[in-house]
């Protein structure tokens, strides 16, 4: 399938890459924007409208084969009220999907999150058969959006990506890049818990895979590269891209935890010291393959940011 795609969130971190990649793969892309702006490069056309108050989406979705919905309130907005997450992530998704169903759109692809399934860490390998148990407003809003899609009469896919990295990344991955660029040794060498990541390139390949998949799909699928890394391995890969050694000192995890507690950074310790490994079985069954290894991808990111 290389027809007309309606893309939301085309000015965001993931959406910008999706616009470029889908266009390069032969799709025509109509971007749905929330406010007037210059037409993003590569877009076939643009429609301006507020997804939280879609008065008439018929024109925006006319002739559209599939919707790729990447817009929403990001997890980085940790201070946002729960009602805001519900408005932007749940209700806007439901309203757009209802409009897509009325327009006879073939498939609706929703960029959800692994946080719709688990909290910031998990003791075992997370699979699609595990019960969903989000732990914060962001994750709950994404799960509620998935459940809303399941109640609407159209074919849908919810992709649940783990932490996404690539050019222009923000949030936790941007903080990790800053750590790697620092000239100092880091006391993180003893941390062994592994976390799954996914590159922008692998994620856009996953979107292409589900757009082309024979239907109906109607499922939530985890999106994760198959080679989880520990925090020291991530920093080593980023520093390798900078042409530097690892510079990691093995300070016991207990001391790091105590230091974080004293400085009020317990949550940060949980994110760096505890693991979250996820398995993308559903995507693999549809023929998806990652764009490359996580180590190589992080090294490239390190070189680009250096």
* DSSP track, 22-53: HHHTT-EEEEEESS--PPPTT-SEEEE--TTS
The answer to whether 25 touches 201, Cβ cutoff 8 Å, is: no
Residue 75 lies in a domain: yes
Peptide bond into 216 cis (omega under 30): yes
Q: To the nearest 5 percent, what fractions of the chain are helix, strand and coil?
A: 40, 15, 40
Q: Please state, as a whole number, how many other Cβ atoms lie within 10 Å of the Cβ of residue 154.
A: 20
Determine the Cα–Cα distance for residues 222 and 277; give it in Å rounded to an integer: 11
Element containing residue 256 per DSSP (H, E) = helix 253-262
CA 298 centroid distance within chain: 16
pTM score, whole prediction = 0.91
Query: How are beta strands 277-278 and 125-126 bridged, if at all?
Result: parallel
Determine the Cα–Cα distance for residues 47 and 32; give it in Å rounded to an integer: 5
We report the CATH number of the domain holding residue 27 as 3.40.50.720
Determine the Cα–Cα distance for residues 291 and 294; give it in Å rounded to an integer: 9
Residue 29 lies in a domain: yes
The answer to whether 47 touches 53, Cβ cutoff 8 Å, is: no
Residue 235 lies in a domain: no
| Overall number of domains in the chain | 1
Residue 46 lies in a domain: yes
Query: How are beta strands 125-126 and 197-199 bridged, if at all?
Result: unpaired
Residue 179 lies in a domain: no
Residue 97 lies in a domain: yes
| Domain residue limits at 12 | 4-169+197-224+278-291
> Taking Cα atoms as reference points, which of 171, 230, 195 lies closest to residue 114?
195
| Per-residue tens of pLDDT for the chain, all 306 residues | 568 999 999 888 999 999 999 999 999 999 887 666 666 666 666 665 666 666 568 888 999 999 999 998 886 555 567 888 898 999 999 999 999 999 999 999 999 999 999 998 898 999 999 999 999 999 999 999 999 999 998 999 999 999 999 988 888 788 888 888 998 898 888 889 999 999 999 999 999 999 999 989 999 999 999 999 999 999 999 999 999 999 999 888 788 878 778 777 766 676 667 899 999 999 999 999 999 999 999 999 999 876
Residue 10 lies in a domain: yes
Residue 11 lies in a domain: yes
């Amino acid at each position: 399938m290389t027809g007309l795609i309606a893309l939301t969130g085309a000015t965001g971190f993931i959406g910008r890459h999706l616009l470029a990649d889908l266009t390069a793969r032969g799709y025509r892309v109509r971007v749905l924007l929330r406010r007037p702006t210059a037409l993003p490069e590569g877009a076939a056309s643009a429609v301006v409208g507020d997804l939280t108050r879609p008065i008439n989406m018929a024109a925006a979705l006319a002739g559209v084969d599939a919707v790729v919905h990447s817009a929403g309130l990001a997890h980085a907005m940790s201070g946002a009220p729960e009602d805001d997450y519900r408005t932007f992530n749940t209700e806007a998704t439901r309203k757009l999907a209802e409009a897509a169903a009325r327009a006879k759109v073939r498939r609706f692809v929703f960029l959800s999150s692994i946080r719709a399934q688990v909290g910031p860490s998990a003791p075992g390998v997370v699979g699609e058969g595990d019960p969903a148990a989000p732990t914060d407003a962001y994750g709950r809003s994404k799960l509620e959006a998935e459940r809303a899609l399941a109640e609407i009469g159209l074919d849908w896919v919810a992709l649940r990506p783990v932490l996404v990295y690539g050019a222009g990344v923000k949030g936790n991955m941007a903080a990790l890049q800053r750590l790697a660029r620092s000239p100092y040794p880091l006391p993180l060498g003893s941390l062994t818990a592994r976390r799954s990541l996914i590159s922008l390139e692998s994620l856009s390949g996953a979107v292409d895979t589900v757009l082309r998949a024979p239907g109906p799909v109607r499922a939530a699928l985890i999106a994760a590269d198959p080679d989880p890394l520990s925090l020291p391995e991530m920093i080593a890969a980023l520093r390798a891209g900078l042409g530097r050694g690892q510079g990691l000192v093995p300070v016991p995890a207990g001391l790091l935890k105590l230091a974080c507690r004293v400085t009020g950074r317990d949550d940060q310790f949980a994110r760096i010291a505890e693991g979250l490994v996820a398995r993308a079985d559903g995507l693999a069954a549809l023929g998806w393959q990652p764009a490359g290894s996580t180590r190589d991808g992080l090294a490239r990111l390190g070189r680009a940011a250096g």
